[in-house]
Structure 1
Amino acid sequence: MSRRTPRPRPDAVTAASPCPCGLPDTYGACCGARHAGSPAPTAEALMRSRYSAFAVRDAAYLLRTWHPDTRPEHLDLDERTRWLGLEVLASTDGGPFHQEGTVEFIATYLERGQQDTLREHSRFVRYDGAWVYVGPLPR
């Protein structure tokens, strides 16, 4: 179940723009709603919204949705990094009735003129009733 779409430039993302996460909704109806405070119903939805937060450089959202045991004190997002697309490879559990879940994905980005990918199998848990990112699973 692979879904990959290119994303617009961060400075061009508006509520009416296609969502950077690759789902067919607009940014405002999809990840923009999460960034504005609507909780993610699943681990995959949280992972997609975190990808979009990297794409639009919303460090506050990334920190807010990171488990406090693994969250860094601050996060500096490089303005020269342009996120190009997201491909969800697999997810396990992480649904509305689960307490844990994983999502494996590939994120494509452009940095200093070089295109590269980030592949991660991420762990998510519910913390105070909301999905949060814990970190990558060991390889």
Structure 2
Amino acid sequence: FYMLPQEDSLLLKKREMNMEECCQKIYEYVLAHGPNSVGGAFWVNKNVYIKYGGENQHFYGWGPEDAERCKRMEILGLPIYRAQGPLLHLFHPRMQNSWFGNQRLEYANRMEFIRVAGMTRSQLLQYISGWK
């Protein structure tokens, strides 16, 4: 996804720039997490998603939950589809929940991602079965 600068985000908000104009400038914006980012927006079949764990409650605060969600679905053999076209992230102030709360939480969140990413399908299904 592309990070819009504050100025362009305000222009969009005020309707002084439209989406077509914004997309014409797309390569002036920063591609936040590389071409294969898994954050931003996602759509799921709710019933299937809940069946396979839903949101991983082992994450606290901000962290690698977007990557874990995608990796979990991949391990489980569920299809992942990437829509064509850019995803735009409007500028907003970074508040206290936009960063890791502290090193202990950051470490715990990263370890949860590594734990899930290292599982086989059967191990992951067993792990998910213990989630509330």
**TM-score range normalised by the length of the shorter chain:** under 0.3
Higher radius of gyration, 1 or 2? 2
Q: TM-score, normalised to structure 2's length? A: 0.28
Q: TM-score, normalised to structure 1's length? A: 0.27
More helix by share: 2
Greater RCO, CA 8 A, separation 6+: 2
More strand by share: 1
